[in-house]
Amino acid sequence: MLFESTRGASPVVDFEAALLGGLAPDGGLYMPDRWPELNSADTADDYAATAINVMWPYVAGSIDADVFADICTDAYATFRHPAVVPLVQIDEQQWLLELFHGPTLAFKDVALQLVGRLFDHVLERRGERITIVGATSGDTGSAAIDGVRHCHNVDIIILYPEGRTSEVQRRQMTTVEADHVHTVAIDGTFDDCQDLVKAMFADRDFRERMNLSAVNSINWARVMAQVVYYVTTSRALGGPTSFCVPTGNFGNVLAGWIARRMGADIHRFHIASNSNDILARFVQDRDMSALDVVATLSPSMDIQVSSNFERLLFEMNGRDGEHTAAQMAAFRSEGRLDVSAAQHAEWIAPVFTAGRVSDADTLDEIARVHADCGLLIDPHTATGTRVARANGGDGPVVTLATAHPAKFPDAVERATGVRPALPDGLADLYERPERIRAMAADLALVQDFVASVSRVGR
Ligand SMILES: *Cc1c(COP(=O)(O)O)cnc(C)c1O
């Protein structure tokens, strides 16, 4: 299996290079050159074993089978639930897939526990070091840090917007005691953090000197890891299954689309947006135009540019990278992505529905689910169950529960009067000492800091 760029102007690479590179040199995203078909023999009783089978066609040739099996087994052993991602029925045709039993309480652990270990293995074998820089609104940073906390060949620097993450999110990042883990509170917004990271990557000399790498959701290996739970879940329900996905970046729902493309029995995807509704406007009205980001109760979906959509666009374009690159360039300069009515009718309308959920409705939904089922759900999950109820109605719908309620306790308490408790093992999070480093949103300052902590080339 080889990987090609969605912009068609980079050489094809193997899995290892796609993993370490993240973004292709032409600015595109890596896509496998074909879609392997699932077969029923892929199913095993435990999650890790199915994960090995489903992902194997993508990594074969780059990583030894035994090594890959061990990496998957170790990654999913960090989850607190024996089923790894348990499925919970909440109504006759409604389920929740609890993706938050990993170390940092959000679904990103499913991918990043695996990706951190893959990085470590590949770097160790090559005798290389990398410097990971990333921007986070909260969940990616904590999950990425936990994913690489035992990697000796990685220095990781995570930028987060000061005062805009939840306290649990911040503490999960600032209380990790490891010499190769660094967090920086940036005086600015998430977009400012993201811009600083992009600028560091755009500085070619700096990028090469630091051997920079990324763990944001454009990394193919993250998407690949997320395909697995769509496969296990649609098989567990044993018939055409729809999924409702709280998403901003389109990453999680894209993974579902790939599972369907590989042959999983999936009917439709319902996309749940908060007030940052670029995806909902696109699905409903073919309007993909970026507006200003507004802060909501579901901050991990406060995104106006859904980077992973480029991968579906590439497929919609018959894998024409040049055309995809031109569309993305126009999106960057005009703020609006032009997809034809015919393409929308063929690719989007039959497979996707979408809904937008305000903060008031999010709180109302958390309260409703608590009253009806006695379950506490987090605000991201609540946008999902809300849209699943509104748009479902043709068979079973599984809403992806993307975060543990205790990761966003203020919103949950506001809605229900109940403050969700942190699970065992994290109960002392509020007592652990924090290491906080604050910095202005200034590229030169941040680059100096990265250069001072990176061990690459030493
Ligand atoms: C990251 C995140 C999302 C959105 O994921 P996408 O990559 O945008 O699909 C939703 N909910 C939570 C809790 C998250 O951490």
Can you tell me which atom of ligand 1 is nearest the CA of 217? 7
Q: Is the CB of 404 under 6 A from ligand 1?
A: no
pLDDT in the model for residue 214: 83
Among protein residues, the one whose CA lies closest to atom 1 of ligand 1: 300
The enclosing H or E element of 400 equals: strand 397-401
For 31, the 3-state DSSP assignment is: strand
Query: How many angstroms does the Cα of residue 232 sit away from the middle of ligand 1?
Result: 20
Q: Does the annotation count 108 as an active-site position?
A: yes
Q: Is the CB of 22 under 6 A from ligand 1?
A: no
Q: pLDDT for 181-238, tens place per residue?
A: 999 999 998 889 988 998 998 899 999 999 999 887 789 999 999 999 999 999 999 9
Q: pLDDT for 148-173, tens place per residue?
A: 998 889 999 999 999 988 899 999 99
Can you tell me which atom of ligand 1 is nearest the CA of 138? 15
Q: pLDDT for 262-320, tens place per residue?
A: 999 999 999 999 999 999 999 999 999 988 889 899 999 988 888 899 999 999 999 99
Mutate to test the pocket of ligand 1, among 108, 112, 296, 408 (most ligand atoms within 8 A of CB): 108
- Among residues 108, 311, 356, 368, the one annotated as catalytic is 108
Can you tell me which atom of ligand 1 is nearest the CA of 407? 13
Judged by average pLDDT, the poorest of 176-180, 315-319, 342-346 is: 176-180
pLDDT in the model for residue 357: 98
pLDDT in the model for residue 258: 98
Query: How many angstroms does the Cα of residue 247 sit away from the middle of ligand 1?
Result: 5
- pLDDT confidence bin for 42, thresholds 50/70/90: low
- Residue among 377, 425, 424, 429 nearest 405 (CA): 377
Domains of the chain, each with CATH number or no CATH: 87-102+220-416 (3.40.50.1100)
pLDDT in the model for residue 40: 72
Q: The whole model's pTM is what? A: 0.95
DSSP secondary structure code for residue 418 in this structure: -
pLDDT in the model for residue 431: 94
Q: Which residues pair with 289 in a beta bridge?
A: 336
Among protein residues, the one whose CA lies closest to atom 2 of ligand 1: 300
pLDDT in the model for residue 101: 98
CA-CA distance, 409 to 401, in Å (whole number)?
A: 15
- Residue among 434, 378, 371, 386 nearest 404 (CA): 378
Structure tokens belonging to residue 100: 């938050």
Q: pLDDT for 5-37, tens place per residue?
A: 999 999 999 999 999 988 898 989 999 999 999
